[in-house]
Amino acid sequence: MKTVLVDIDHTLSDAYWRDPEDNPMGKTDWDQYHQSSVYDDPFEHMIDLINLMHGPYHIVGLTTRPEKWRGITITWLVNHRVEMDDLLMRPNDCYLHIPESKLATVERSFKSLSEIHLLIDDNENVVKKFQEEGIPCLQVHGRRHAKP
């Protein structure tokens, strides 16, 4: 089966408004960050692209949102009519950096990385990590929209 992995935050959803500003304490309330994702606007052009690919390709969401946020993530995807076959999320107890976390999640979920035909992600380090594994990648840059 031909599989396309697609990131969610900053790729399908406009999460820029949730990104933490420079925090002198170096801490972010990640629960609040993820809870607020329900208010993300969709990147319609990316959703249109994913929906066009759905059918010929098995579309799998790949996010480092912790598993405990699966419900609100699926609700957002359904509300914005994203046609997705599966959703892979970071285990709640995983604290690896984003590129390592995503690769470990994919390696646990697929028999072989050769099943992956394409990764679509905004994160340069994730793209580099998957390219090192021989996986073709499409790096996207969404537009930042201000939220009130």
pLDDT at 1 over 90: no
Give mean pLDDT, residues 94-104: 94
Fold of 3-19+29-139: Rossmann fold (3.40.50)
pLDDT at 28 over 90: no
What is the predicted pLDDT for the residue at 141?
83
d(CA 3, CA 112): 11
Least confident piece of the model among 38-42, 61-65, 93-97, 140-144:
140-144
Domain range annotation of the chain: 3-19+29-139
pLDDT at 17 over 60: yes
User: What mean pLDDT is reported for the chain?
Assistant: 91
Q: DSSP characters for 34-85?
A: HHGGGGPEE-HHHHHHHHHHBTTBEEEEEEEEEGGGHHHHHHHHHHTT---S
Under the banding of pLDDT at 50, 70 and 90, the label for residue 27 is: low
Query: Which tokens belong to 148?
Result: 């009130």
Give mean pLDDT, residues 24-42: 81
pLDDT at 25 over 90: no
Under the banding of pLDDT at 50, 70 and 90, the label for residue 104 is: very high
